[in-house]
Structure 1
Amino acid sequence: MKSAVETLNPTRVRLTVEVPFEELKPSLDAAYKKINQQVTVPGFRKGKIPARVIDQRFGRGAVLEEAINDALPKFYTEAVNEGELNVLGQPDVDITEFNDGDELKFTAEVDIRPAIEIPDYSGIEVVVDAIEVTDEDIDKSIEQLRDRFASTTTVERAAADGDVVIVDLEASVDGEVLEDGVAKGVSYTIGSGQLLDGIDEAVIGLEAGGSATFTSELKGGSAAGSSAEVKVEVSDVQARELPELNDDFAQLASEFDTLEELRADSRTRLERMKQYDQATAAQEKVLDALIELAEVPIPEKLLKDEIETRTHNLEHHQFPQMGLTWETYLEREGKTREEYDAELEAQAVKGIKTQFLLDELVNKEKLSVNQEELTEHLMRRAATSGMSPDQFAQAVVEGGQVPMLVGEVARGKALAVVVESVKVTDTNGETVDLEDDEEDGEAVESADETPAAEVVEQS
């Protein structure tokens, strides 16, 4: 077999492959064997039909076609390996010449990973918000905790904002009550925004036994996105009572004995959260600066496929779950479809550049991922997915996604190498030490969505 590589552009090549006929013999033998198992000819046992009889009965062309279909992937792979190419996606194959007994000639056009030169990033400087925890921040945190320990008491009065009401709901569309539009004994805190739009205005002022009807767009269920008439009946009105802010509350809501100790712990936790946010912001800004410095050609087909994949996931997975259509989604986002498409393309471009650059850094720095790092990353991913670590690990293994997770960790380590070499200061002019945060390998996950891992893993 002979092969040659023609560079069409920095991200696409054309392979020209010539295969002597004798190298097709294993595939021809396999084709005769396969056809032998599929057909029946009177006078011959199944699987024992001579090749000449198969040629006469079914045509030599059918055998050659089966043989070529079997052989092409093997010879294509050999040509890719011979050319030392990092291919992306499936090739466009064209058989240019083939006659029975003569050599097979074909071409294959395919996207490749572009050669990337990592720029000198040592001069990158970024500025992030300084970490500041105010008394107001602590007060808000304590109030949120206090809210979780609120008690309720039934009251004989009209419902008001902040009260808890027990309600029965019945939704109708075009005068027909929906089968999945009836709910009884629902507990709802007025003003929380956790039920249907319009329910707050409907129940405020109602006493137990009162009812009202309001119009609302359904967010889920069989009639998601439809405008429905909703009847609400209030069976109980309860006033929420917050516990007093004192040492007793600190002992009730935490492991601390005094309110002062609880407030000190809240300050520490808020500082840690802001440190994490600061590290994430720094990593993203460094990544943006690195991308700005580098020349990263984008394969057109890869970009097109990525945009189509993201759009498909939005239309067929996220929209149904959220009860949205393109019209309602764009209205909610305050965008036109053209603006959305432009933003999506920009995100996809950034994602592809991110993977290309960081993967090149992984190779340049000879970074590897050990089992402990992979396990820690898996635990984090499991927590964000809502699955147990065992369930998530099983899903990853069954889906063949282990290389994807390894790639995420490795790219996180590559970005950490860059961050360690640049200058990060806060808005107060203080140098920011991100060493502990960089070791997490979390930064890549927080960047704009990376392209589909399976596309990259084909390289």
Structure 2
Amino acid sequence: MKSAVETLNPTRVRLTVEVPFEELKDSLDAAYKKINQQVTVKGFRKGKIPARVIDQRFGRGAVLEEAVNDALPKFYTEAVNEAEVNPLGQPEVDITELKDGELLAFTAEVDIRPTLEIPDYSGIEVTVDAVEVTEEDIEKSVEQLRERFASTSTVERAAQDGDVVTIDLEAKVDGEVLPDGVADGVSYTIGSGELLDGIDEAVKGLEAGGEATFTSQLKGGSAEGKDAEVTVKVTTVAARELPELDDEFAQMASEFDTLDELKADSRKRLENMKQFDQATQAQERVLDELLKLVEVPMPEKLLEDEINTRKHNLEHHQLGQMGIDLAKYLELQGKTEEEFLAETKEQAEKGIKTQFILDELVNKEKLDVSREELTEHLFRRAASSGMSPDQFAQAVAQGGQVPMLVGEVARGKALAVVVEAATVKDTNGEVVDLSDDEDEVETAAEAVEAVTGEAEVSEDK
């Protein structure tokens, strides 16, 4: 076999391949065998039809087509290896010559992973939020815990902010009660904003048995988006009572004996949360600066596929679960389709660039993924997917996605290397040391996944 490679642009090549006919022998034999199992000819046992009879009855062309289809992947792979290119996706193959008994010639155009030069990234500097926990933050955290232990008691007075009312609702559009416009015994906390616009004003001031009518735009159901005349009747009014903030509350709501211990724990948890947010912020901003340093040629077909994948995942997975279509989503977002496509293209380009650059860094820094790192990543991915580790591992193995998981961890390690080399300061001008972050690789992997999305740049040979 002879092959040559022609560079069409920095991200696409054309392979020209010539194969002597004798190298098709194994594929021709396999073609005759396959056709033998599929057809019957009177006078011959199944599977024992001579090649000359198959040629006469079904045509030599059918045999050649079957043989070439069988052989092409093998010869294409040999040409790719000989040219030392890294193809992305499937090639566009064109058979340019097929002479029975003499020659098979074809061309294959395919996108390739571009060659990148990674400059010195140690000069990257970013600023992140300082880790500051105020007394107000602690009070808010404790108050949220206090809200969870609130009790209610029925009162004989007009409803007011914060009360829990039990209500009956009836919605009419154009004077007709909607089929799904009646609901009885609904529990609602005044001021929560969880039901209809205008309901707070309608029920405030009403006692049990009181009734009011107001107009509101429906947020769901058969008349979604339409203005409805809503009648609300209050059946009970209950006041929420919060427990006293004292040591007794701390013992009831936590494992601590005193309120001071509970507040100290709240401070520690808030600090940990803010440190995690700070690390994530540092990784995201360092990644943005790294992307600015490297010029990345963009494979057009790969970009088109990535845009289509992201659009498909949004329409058929995320929006499908929400029960809305793309048009409704764009309306809610206040975007035109052109703005949405431009935004999707920008995100896709950033995701592809991120993969290319970090994969190049993995090779440059000779980063390996250990079994322990892969296992930890698998456990985290399983938790986020709502599956058990065993179920997730089985699904990954069956889907052939182990290399994808390895790639995610490796890119996380590559980003962590860049973050460690960069200078990270907080808004107070203090240098932030992220080297003690035990989950640095995992948080970096998550930061990368947020950019690259679900699609994976695949290499096919």
Do these two structures clear the TM 0.5 threshold for a shared fold by scoring above it?
Answer: yes
Judged with a 3 Å threshold, the aligned counterparts in structure 2 of structure 1 residues 35 and 207 are, in CA distance, closer, same or farther, namely farther
Judged with a 3 Å threshold, the aligned counterparts in structure 2 of structure 1 residues 446 and 202 are, in CA distance, closer, same or farther, namely farther
- 3-state SS of 2:441 partner: coil
Q: Which deviates the most, 380-389 or 256-265? A: 380-389
1:155 aligns with 2:155: yes
1:170-205 deviations in Å (ceiling 9; x for gaps): 7788958557x7766544333334445555455545
Q: Distance in 1 between matches of 2:361 and 2:196?
A: 49
Answer whether contact 2:125 2:423 (CA < 8 A) is retained: yes
Q: Which deviates the most, 185-194 or 93-102? A: 185-194
Answer whether contact 1:225 1:324 (CA < 8 A) is retained: no
Q: In the alignment, which residue of structure 2 is the partner of 1:48?
A: 48
Q: 1:234-313 alignment to 2 at 5 Å?
A: 234-313=234-313
Count of aligned positions:
456
Judged with a 3 Å threshold, the aligned counterparts in structure 2 of structure 1 residues 415 and 52 are, in CA distance, closer, same or farther, namely same
Structure 2: 5+ residue runs without aligned partners? none
- Could you tell me how far 1:228 is from its partner in structure 2? 8.0
- 3-state SS of 1:311 partner: helix
Q: In the alignment, which residue of structure 1 is the partner of 2:446?
A: 445
AA aligned opposite 1:432? V
Judged with a 3 Å threshold, the aligned counterparts in structure 2 of structure 1 residues 265 and 198 are, in CA distance, closer, same or farther, namely same
Q: In the alignment, which residue of structure 1 is the partner of 2:111?
A: 111
- 3-state SS of 1:105 partner: strand
AA aligned opposite 1:446? A
Answer whether contact 1:155 1:237 (CA < 8 A) is retained: yes
Length-normalised TM-score, structure 1: 0.91
Q: In the alignment, which residue of structure 1 is the partner of 2:83?
A: 83
Q: In the alignment, which residue of structure 1 is the partner of 2:415?
A: 415
Structure 1: 5+ residue runs without aligned partners? none
Q: In the alignment, which residue of structure 1 is the partner of 2:394?
A: 394
Q: In the alignment, which residue of structure 2 is the partner of 1:430?
A: 430
Q: In the alignment, which residue of structure 2 is the partner of 1:456?
A: 458
Q: Which deviates the most, 320-329 or 56-65? A: 320-329
Judged with a 3 Å threshold, the aligned counterparts in structure 2 of structure 1 residues 327 and 231 are, in CA distance, closer, same or farther, namely farther
Q: In the alignment, which residue of structure 1 is the partner of 2:345?
A: 345
1:115-164 deviations in Å (ceiling 9; x for gaps): 11111111111111211111111111111111111112223344433222
Judged with a 3 Å threshold, the aligned counterparts in structure 2 of structure 1 residues 54 and 210 are, in CA distance, closer, same or farther, namely farther
- Could you tell me how far 1:451 is from its partner in structure 2? 4.9
Answer whether contact 2:153 2:238 (CA < 8 A) is retained: yes
Judged with a 3 Å threshold, the aligned counterparts in structure 2 of structure 1 residues 10 and 148 are, in CA distance, closer, same or farther, namely same
Judged with a 3 Å threshold, the aligned counterparts in structure 2 of structure 1 residues 172 and 122 are, in CA distance, closer, same or farther, namely same
Judged with a 3 Å threshold, the aligned counterparts in structure 2 of structure 1 residues 399 and 160 are, in CA distance, closer, same or farther, namely farther
Counting aligned pairs with the same residue, the percent is 75
Answer whether contact 1:354 1:450 (CA < 8 A) is retained: yes
Q: Distance in 1 between matches of 2:107 and 2:132?
A: 62
1:401-458 deviations in Å (ceiling 9; x for gaps): 2222211111111111111111111121111001133633322422443054543354
AA aligned opposite 2:118? I
- Could you tell me how far 1:344 is from its partner in structure 2? 1.7
Q: In the alignment, which residue of structure 2 is the partner of 1:69?
A: 69
Judged with a 3 Å threshold, the aligned counterparts in structure 2 of structure 1 residues 147 and 160 are, in CA distance, closer, same or farther, namely same
Q: Distance in 1 between matches of 2:202 and 2:404?
A: 49
Judged with a 3 Å threshold, the aligned counterparts in structure 2 of structure 1 residues 423 and 71 are, in CA distance, closer, same or farther, namely same
AA aligned opposite 1:355? Q
AA aligned opposite 1:272? N
Q: In the alignment, which residue of structure 2 is the partner of 1:35?
A: 35
Q: Distance in 2 between matches of 1:208 and 1:149?
A: 25
Judged with a 3 Å threshold, the aligned counterparts in structure 2 of structure 1 residues 169 and 101 are, in CA distance, closer, same or farther, namely farther
Judged with a 3 Å threshold, the aligned counterparts in structure 2 of structure 1 residues 43 and 379 are, in CA distance, closer, same or farther, namely same
Alignment root-mean-square deviation, CA: 2.6
Q: In the alignment, which residue of structure 2 is the partner of 1:321?
A: 321
Answer whether contact 2:196 2:216 (CA < 8 A) is retained: no
Answer whether contact 1:404 1:457 (CA < 8 A) is retained: no
AA aligned opposite 1:95? I
